[in-house]
Homo-oligomer: A and B are copies of this chain.
Amino acid sequence: MKVEEALQILKDHGFKYTGKREEMIRICAAEKRYLSAKDIMERIKELYPSLSFDTVYRNISTFVELGILEETELDGEGKFRLACSTDGHHHHHVICTECGKTSSLPGCPMNIMSAVPDDFQVTGHKFEVYGTCKDCVAHTN
């Protein structure tokens, strides 16, 4: 997803444009990596030194609800990255547990889903591969 698309989605849903929102999206768009709320805070401080965490958290959850950001959970805290599903097919990621960097995996093991017992109404699924990326392996040596 591109920054402009994300801003359009916000507009289409009647949300106001603010420089802070755009900057948050830009920060997420800048890296193929999951960022924590704290990471985003840190980066946004350059442009908006007095941004409160409330704003960051509230905007993040708006973005997640609108499908602008994807969420996962690492080390007991929420991590976020710009959604990329709209770029093409539904797919999943390998995630570096050290730095959050991601890489796409082709396809989705949805075929298994046909084996889900009838007494469950499926609402979603998560498939994530965890690992250590080249850079982080190097660092720990």
Asked if residues B123 and A115 are in contact (CB atoms below 8 Å), the reply is: no
Report if A128 contacts B (CB, 8 A).
yes
Q: Is the CB of B131 within 8 A of A121?
A: yes
The reply on A96 being an interface residue by CB < 8 A is: yes
Minimum CB distance partner of A127 in chain B = B127
Chain A residues numbered 101-130 whose CB sits less than 8 Å from any CB in chain B:
103, 105-107, 109, 112-113, 115-117, 119-130
Taken together as a complex, chains A and B put the C-alpha atoms of A115 and B125 apart, in Å, by 20
Question: What residues of chain B lie closer than 8 Å to A94, measured between beta carbons?
Answer: 116-117, 120, 122
Question: Is A133 an interface residue when CB atoms closer than 8 A count as contact?
Answer: yes
A side interface size, CB within 8 A:
34
Instruction: Write out the residue numbers on chain B whose beta carbons fall within 8 Å of the beta carbon of A97.
Output: 123
Q: Which residues of B contact A66 (CB under 8 A)?
A: none
Is A130 in contact with B125, judged by CB distance below 8 angstroms?
A: yes
Is A54 among interface residues, defined by CB-CB distance under 8 A?
no
Q: Does A137 contact B (CB under 8 A)?
A: yes
Tell whether A12 is near chain B: CB-to-CB under 8 Å.
no
Check: A59 CB closer than 8 A to any chain B CB: no
Residues in chain A within 8 A of chain B (CB atoms) = 73, 76, 78, 92, 94, 96-97, 103, 105-107, 109, 112-113, 115-117, 119-134, 137
**Told that A120-B129, A120-B134 touch, could you supply 8 new A-B pairs with CB distance under 8 A?**
A105-B115, A109-B109, A109-B112, A112-B129, A113-B129, A121-B132, A125-B127, A125-B128
